[in-house]
Amino acid sequence: MNSKRTVYVGDVPIGGSHPIVIQSMINTDLKNRNRSLEQIIRLHESGSGIVRIAYPGSEYRDDFEYIVSRSPCPVIADIHFSADLAVEAMELGASKIRINPGNIKKRNLIKIIEKAKKFEVPIRIGVNSGSLEKDLLEKYGHPVPDGLVESAMRSTAFFEENDFDNIVLSVKSSDVNFMIESNIKLARKTDYPIHLGVTEAGGLIRGTVKNSIGIGYLLKNSIGDTVRVSLSTEPEKEIEIAKKMLKALHLYGNAPDVISCPTCSRSTFDVAGMQEIVEQHLENVKKDITVAVMGCVVNGPGEAKEADLGITGSLNECVLFKKGEIVFRGNPESVIEKLLEEVDSYEKD
Ligand code: SF4
């Protein structure tokens, strides 16, 4: 979003004025090819524009090729330590390579660059606070945002000197403040697309909080072009959280949003239960629609009117708003039933 350059991962553009691309990483054993492929399909169908696979060694060569050749979306190979593996992954069909400059020797990077040029495969230079190069650690004493940015820019300069600019950059940390500061500094120095993520962010709740603050803050400030929400749980959840995060910032089009009140002593019907029914119903809906579920007449009519569809009221009578007008009245159960029907037939003007 912030970057001026666009990089193509297969047919998926990252950067420029293109929409933010959500990505995730499979966590299956590559030897279990079909299970791996099924996970990629699930991730892609739920909104992952590209999917990353760790490619740990040549013993997975046939499995990797099998999976990549059948993937419904471009695949990124995540490579550590070995330039030969990066070259092999590109030969097997990877549409992008992610490397960490801290753990591949400069002279070996040339092999990767030459192959990436030939195959027109972009490379993400992914710097992590946990694996900064030794000389930068000595210079700064310990990992600091300036060290991460220096590492990323130094590698970028090396790639450019070797006539390669098909680059995406990332500077990640498990510390939210560190990650934010690093990306702000990076964005001031580069116009390459930036991949955002809080690495090793934790489980579902803690990780969602950290990712939302870190990634959300940066996106709100027009920094970042592709995101990976990192959670210690199933990667399908990462996509769900990423979509909701982008939706909350109005950066994701074809997905619903829900407004629901926290309830208080004024509510006389099961708002939380109704909200849950609505969320479940919306799980597979691919429409740009906002639905409000509100517990009483204090803020209810205002929010319900402003949403595309909204309900509010009391145990005795609830009302359904559609585009600001009341279109149905009844008990909570009948109104929720009507609301779900309206969701299914809803079309934006
Ligand atoms: Fe309470 Fe009504 Fe506000 Fe819901 S909308 S939190 S029920 S005052």
**How does pLDDT run across 29-66, given as a tens digit for each residue?**
999 999 999 999 999 999 999 999 999 999 999 999 99
The CA 339 to ligand 1 mean position distance, Å, reads 19
Ligand 1 within 6 A of 294 CB? yes
For residues 64 and 275, give the distance between their C-alpha atoms in angstroms, rounded to a whole number: 42
Per-residue pLDDT at 86: 96
The CA 316 to ligand 1 mean position distance, Å, reads 16
Question: What percentage of the chain has pLDDT greater than the value 70?
Answer: 99
Per-residue pLDDT at 1: 46
Which of 215, 234, 288, 259 minimizes the C-alpha distance to 20?
215
Ligand 1 within 6 A of 262 CB? yes
**How does pLDDT run across 87-118, given as a tens digit for each residue?**
999 999 999 999 987 788 888 999 999 999 99
Q: Is 318's pLDDT higher than 80? A: yes
The CA 40 to ligand 1 mean position distance, Å, reads 41
Ligand 1 within 6 A of 313 CB? no
The DSSP code sequence of 107-128 is: HHHHHHHHHHHHHT--EEEEEE
Number of the ligand 1 atom closest to the C-alpha atom of 294: 5
The CA 294 to ligand 1 mean position distance, Å, reads 7
Per-residue pLDDT at 3: 53
Ligand 1 within 6 A of 315 CB? no
Ligand 1 within 6 A of 108 CB? no
Alpha helix stretches (DSSP H) within 47-164: 61-70, 83-91, 106-119, 134-140, 145-161
**How does pLDDT run across 75-90, given as a tens digit for each residue?**
999 998 899 999 999 9
**How does pLDDT run across 220-273, given as a tens digit for each residue?**
999 999 999 999 999 999 999 999 999 999 999 889 999 999 999 998 889 999
**Residue 311: pLDDT band with limits 50, 70, 90:** very high
